[in-house]
Amino acid sequence: MAGTLVDGAFLSGFINVVFDRFLTTDAVNLVLGKKLGPDLVERLKTALLGAEALVADAELKQFGNPSVRKWLDSLKDAVYSAEDLLDTVLIKATTQKEVNSSWFTSFRINRDRDDTVDKMEGVVRRIEDLAKQKDYLRLEQISTDSSSWRTPSSSIVRGNVHGREDDKKALIKMLNDNNEHHLSVIAIVGIGGVGKTTLAQWIYNNEEFMKGFDLKAWLCISEKFDIVETTRNILKVILGGTCSHDDFNSLQRALKEELSNKKFFIVLDDVWSDDDDKWSHFMTPFQQNGKKGSIVLLTTRGENVALSVQNCRPYFLSGLSEDYCWSVFADNASFPQSNGSATLEEIGRKIVKKCNGLPLAAETLGRLLRTKHDVKEWNKILNSDIWGFPVEKSKIIPALLISYFHLPVYLKRCFVYCSLYPKDYNFKKDELVLLWMAEDLLPLPKRGETLEEVGCECFDELTSRLFFTRRLQDDDDEEEIIMHDLLHDLAIFLAGDFYCNLEELGEEEMIRIQTRHLRVNMRYCSSELHDSISKVESLRTLLSEKFSDIETATCDILSKCKYLRVLSSDRLHMLPNSIGELIHLRYLDLSWTEIKTLPESLCTLCCLQTLKLLGCSKLTTLPSSLHNLISLQHLDIRRTSLEEMPRKMSKLNQLQFLSSFVVCKHEDNGIQELGGLVNLHGSLEIKKLENIVDVKEAKVAKIMDKKNLDGLWLEWCSGDDMVLSSQTERDMLDSLQPHNGLKELKIRGYKGTVFPDWIGNFCYQNMTSVTLKYCKNCCMLPSLGQLPFLKSLSIRGFPELKRIGMEFYKNEGDHHSLHIPPFPSLEILQFRDRCGMYLSQKLFLDSGSLK
């Protein structure tokens, strides 16, 4: 039954979770005894079924009826509460142990049970009362097919920029005509989704036009135009991500220096503010500095914005012609090689006509129909009631809303979660997937599949459907993954009061009591705002960056918000013992904080999946009972100062990502503890390998069996390079041999004189990167030339290496390498001595020709 409705952002998904995970008699009775009773369970099931049957109709009618939207919000709030209570039941059922049978303990348990039952009865009554309002709101039970489409690939190739040749020429001419002016300010003006940003990107990445510019930068502005923050962000882009200035005057002086005597091209994307005074102050550094021909290019939806910027010339971008809009649609859809294609084209052209010349609308609908070859499916899009929704005054485009409504349930929830982030945010797949996992937004994995892999598939699905788009960053091949601002507007609308990004709130707006997910990114917080944060007791998510009052706020939140699932902060200096009371916590990110220790109470969190401690340079130890975190899947301890691992790490058998392991000499935290971690993915760094006492210990680590590792970094940290037996050192490294699917290998501080044969062996077909550092006893390099796909090789600090012989290029004893040219795929080769200086090129020539 569940999943057959075209539902809201997360409502039916929540209801599915309740049925699939919580409403089992065994789990309920174990914690609540018979007090909850089968009657209340059945009432909850019936109430949820009755409400879910109305959700699809309500989601469609909310756009023209505020009462329906309010009803939906009330139902979402009630279902959130039901899930929180039932999640508590499930957690207690999992962790409940024998307790002291004293009168006081029995009294406390009974009191907790009575309290949970009372709250559950209240939630059931709320849902029952809401279902009774269907006649008043004229809600009907409707059933529609949901999509189960999956993208065949995560690789998206964007099509051509159709129908803009004349616009390109006209805009380039306008920009070139201003070469004699000190500064030209030009605005591309057009409605949302017409292609302003796409045209600006084409210019920004046009190598021919960009010749002669000394500096270029791209910045998304959006609705909130804070001239101090915007100036700081431009400096960050120019300086490569760092800016130490705070006050406006010093920021402007710094920007003035950076622009001085340079011809610059600055793009300010998605500008909304028409505040003349703000623009006058903001533009001062640009007007007073730079060479002739410097340009500031704006994209905006309003002509009034262009008029507010002094001497700004507008270029008006109109919609595409119907033929060009059809080309965009057809590029993204696909037509069967049969007679049915003509019928689909006829329907498709009618759909395109409704897109009103907006390429974004045509593109997303084309991608929606990419795998659908059924005339009924295409007609369903053409005849959708959504085309008639009263959305003229909002930022919602019907075509995008149609694409959203045809997402599977789980993708809707994942998409809406992105409303927490600002416009033009560069999404990181790995980060977002871990958050989706923590929030229970993902479908259950299939057999043999991890939940993280499911999350990656969901991300790729959204990308394939163009809810995310890929673009190249400046001057390199790295991709940014962003969300178009109109899709971001749609996510914010659908999220309602349940998701809140404080950057998006107006000065007079406060956090709503219904808020469950909160993102804070600000340096200062008023007492009123702090109070409103503390009052949101059902908060599930707190993502805080640059929040100066986080210490105080966190203490309040931990004492009140018992249902918190996600906590992320970059300003905490300590974690209170009360963290152990957050039994729902799944995700804890303390990266780049100055935290020194973690309380033992953290280890009671049986639901914790992700613990991120990246860059906590003052952290020297982990809690001794870390092995009690039975659900831990992701542990990131890179760039910490850990001196050893806690004992019994092998008990963390759910662990899938472990960034580092510090080897100790004791049995319960030595390298053999890695043997029990059979599900490790990604890259693993093993440090202090000099602490291995016996070669047998290295074998017990079972590195060869970790088939999902992509990268391995082996490091000996001791400064003493004298060893008793070079053969023992070689046997040690031989015992740490990884599987032959490894892609990246780094070895640092190895104390043997010769490398074992597996390093450089032809069987490592996937190896693309090798780094060898400070192996001070080695007098011979391994046979790396026979690695067929090795692209990057770095060798540094080999004082005993006097010459490089033919063994470096190929191993003559290996018949696989006899007819293969050495280093067939090598792109980067670095040789440095122990002082960091490059060795002379003569070293290569003396040992043969490297081609």
Structure confidence by residue, pLDDT tens digits, 308-352: 887 888 999 999 999 999 999 998 887 776 556 788 999 999 999
CATH classification code of 165-316:
3.40.50.300
Tell me the two tokens of residue 790: 């090795």
Binning pLDDT at 50, 70 and 90, where does residue 438 land?
very high
- Residue 95 clears pLDDT 50, i.e. is over it: yes
Reported as a pLDDT band with limits 50, 70 and 90, residue 120 is confident
The predicted structure's pLDDT at residue 14: 59
Predicted pLDDT of residue 507: 52
**Which tokens go with 848?**
């043969």
Asked if pLDDT for residue 801 goes beyond 80, the answer is: yes
Q: Name which of 45, 19, 59, 61 is nearest 146 in CA terms.
A: 59
Binning pLDDT at 50, 70 and 90, where does residue 670 land?
very high
Lowest mean pLDDT among 579-593, 669-683, 714-728, 779-793: 714-728
| Separation CA 367–CA 683 (nearest Å) | 35
User: In the prediction, which pLDDT does 339 show?
Assistant: 56
Q: How far apart are CA 468 and CA 415, in angstroms?
A: 9
**What is the DSSP code (8-state) at residue 838?**
B
According to the model, what pLDDT value does residue 813 have? Answer: 54
Contacts of 297 (CB under 8 A, 6+ apart): 175, 186, 187, 188, 200, 203, 265, 266, 267, 268
Which pLDDT does position 48 carry in this prediction? 81
pLDDT the model gives residue 520: 84
Q: Is the pLDDT score of 545 beyond 50?
A: yes
Q: For 28-37, 147-156, 422-431, which range has the lowest pLDDT when averaged over its residues?
A: 147-156
Q: For residue 555, give every residue at least 6 positions away whose Cβ sits within 8 Å of its Cβ, in sequence order, or none.
A: 576, 578
Q: Are 48 and 54 in contact (CB under 8 A)?
A: no
Closest to 216 in 3D by CA, of 229, 199, 203: 203
* pLDDT over 60 (residue 502): yes
CB 793 within 8 A of CB 828: yes
pLDDT, residue 61, reads 82
Q: For residues 109-119, give the mean pLDDT.
A: 72
- pLDDT(29) > 90: no
Average pLDDT of span 451-476:
84
Please tell me the total number of residues recorded for the chain in this structure: 851
Whether 845 has a pLDDT exceeding 90, the answer reads no
Indicate if the pLDDT at residue 219 is higher than 70: yes
Distance CA(310)–CA(307), nearest Å, equals 7
Q: Which of 370, 362, 348 is nearest to 320 (CA)?
A: 362
pLDDT per residue over 381-414, tens digit each? 999 888 887 665 567 888 999 999 888 888 999 9
Compute the distance between CA of residue 759 and CA of residue 771 in angstroms, rounded to an integer: 11
Helix axes 340-353, 359-368, angle to 10 degrees: 150
**Sequence-separated (6 or more) residues with CB below 8 Å from residue 814:** 761, 762, 783, 786
- What's residue 720's pLDDT? 67
- Distance (Å, whole) CA 528 – CA 534: 10
- Note the pLDDT of residue 160: 61
pLDDT of residue 82: 85
CB 534 within 8 A of CB 542: no
3-state secondary structure of 260: coil
CB 540 within 8 A of CB 515: no
> pLDDT at position 523, please?
61
Cβ neighbors of 75 (< 8 A, separation 6 or more) are 11, 51, 55, 58, 127, 130
Q: Read off the pLDDT of residues 606-658 as tens digits, 9 standing for 90 and up.
A: 999 999 999 999 999 999 999 999 999 999 999 999 999 999 999 999 999 99
C-alpha to C-alpha distance for 841 and 691, rounded to whole angstroms: 38
Tell me phi and psi for residue 83, to 5 degrees. Answer: -65, -40
623 or 90: which carries more pLDDT confidence?
Answer: 623
Q: 385-399, 455-469, 678-692: lowest mean pLDDT where?
A: 385-399
Q: Which of 62, 40, 49 is nearest to 12 (CA)?
A: 49
Top pLDDT among 15 and 238 is at: 238
Task: State the Cα–Cα distance between residues 363 and 156, nearest whole angstrom.
Answer: 13
Residue 154 has pLDDT above 50, yes or no: no
837, exposed or middle or buried, with CB in 10 Å at 0-12, 13-18, 19+?
A: exposed
Per cent of the chain over pLDDT 70 is: 82
Per-residue tokens: 851? 């081609």
60 vs 460, higher pLDDT: 460
Position 130, amino acid: L
Rounded to the nearest integer, the mean pLDDT of the chain is 83
Closest CA to 89 of 108, 107, 112, 123: 112
CA–CA distance, 136 with 67 (Å, rounded to integer): 10
DSSP state letter for 18 = I
- List Cβ<8 Å contacts ≥24 apart for 733-737: 733/759, 734/758, 735/695, 735/698, 735/699, 735/701, 735/703, 736/686, 736/689, 736/698, 736/701, 736/703, 737/703, 737/704
* Of residues 591, 636, 598, the one with CA closest to residue 617: 591
Q: How many CB atoms lie within 10 A of CB 348?
A: 23
158: pLDDT confidence band, cut at 50, 70 and 90?
A: very low
Rounded CA separation 72/178 (Å) = 54
Distance CA 845, CA 286 (A): 52
Query: What is 719-734 written as a DSSP string?
Result: S----S-HHHHHHHHH
User: What string of DSSP letters covers 665-676?
Assistant: SSGGGSGGGGGG
What's the confidence (pLDDT) of residue 98? Answer: 42
* 251-268 pLDDT per residue, tens: 888 888 888 888 999 999
Residue predicted with more confidence, 8 or 512: 512
Range scoring the smallest mean pLDDT among 150-154, 575-579, 772-776: 150-154
How far is residue 674's CA from residue 664's CA, in Å, rounded to a whole number? 12
Cβ neighbours of 828 (radius 10 Å): 10
CB 582 within 8 A of CB 559: no
341-364 pLDDT tens trace = 788 999 999 999 999 899 999 999
Rounded Cα distance between 605 and 602, Å, is 6
Confidence of residue 476 (pLDDT cuts 50, 70, 90): low
Phi/psi at 68 (nearest 5 deg)? -70, -40
- At 537, the pLDDT band (50, 70, 90 cuts) reads confident
pLDDT at 38: 58
Contact 275, 225 (CB under 8 A): yes
Q: Which two tokens stand for residue 210?
A: 């960009």
CATH number of 502-628: 3.80.10.10
pLDDT over 90 at 748, yes or no: yes
pLDDT of residue 639: 95
Confidence of residue 522 (pLDDT cuts 50, 70, 90): low
Q: State the maximum Cα–Cα separation within the chain, in Å, rounded to a whole number.
A: 90
Instruction: Please say whether the beta carbons of 96 and 30 come within 8 A.
Output: yes
For residue 724, with 0-12 CB atoms within 10 Å meaning exposed, 13-18 middle and 19 or more buried, which class applies? exposed
- 290-299, 332-341, 679-688, 835-844: the lowest-pLDDT one: 835-844
Find all residues with CB under 8 Å of 706, minimum gap 6, and list them: 677, 678, 680, 684, 738, 739
**Measured CA angle at 656 (ends 653, 698), to 5 deg:** 70
% of the chain exceeding 90 in pLDDT = 40
CATH of 407-490, one of 1.10.20, 1.10.10, 1.20.120, 1.10.150: 1.10.10
Specify whether the CB–CB gap between 325 and 355 falls below 8 A: yes
**836 φ/ψ sector (left φ>0, alpha ψ -120 to 50, else beta):** left
Per DSSP bridges, beta strands 566-569 and 479-482 are unpaired
Query: Residue 214 pLDDT more than 50?
Result: yes
Instruction: Give the whole-angstrom CA distance, residue 474 versus residue 53.
Output: 49
For the residues of 321-363, what is the DSSP string, one character each? PHHHHHHHHHHHS---SSTHHHHHHHHHHHHHHTTTT-HHHHH
Phi and psi torsions of 681, nearest 5°: -120, 170
Task: State both tokens at 631.
Answer: 């659900």
Q: Considering just the CA atoms, what is the radius of gyration of the chain in Å?
A: 30
Question: String of b and e for 477-514 (b: at least 16 CB within 10 Å)?
Answer: eeeebbbbbbbbbbbbbbbbebbbbbbbeeeeebbeeb
User: How many Å apart are CA 106 and CA 118, to the nearest integer?
Assistant: 18
Question: Could you give the count of Cα atoms lying within 13 Å of 287 in the half-sphere of its Cβ?
Answer: 11
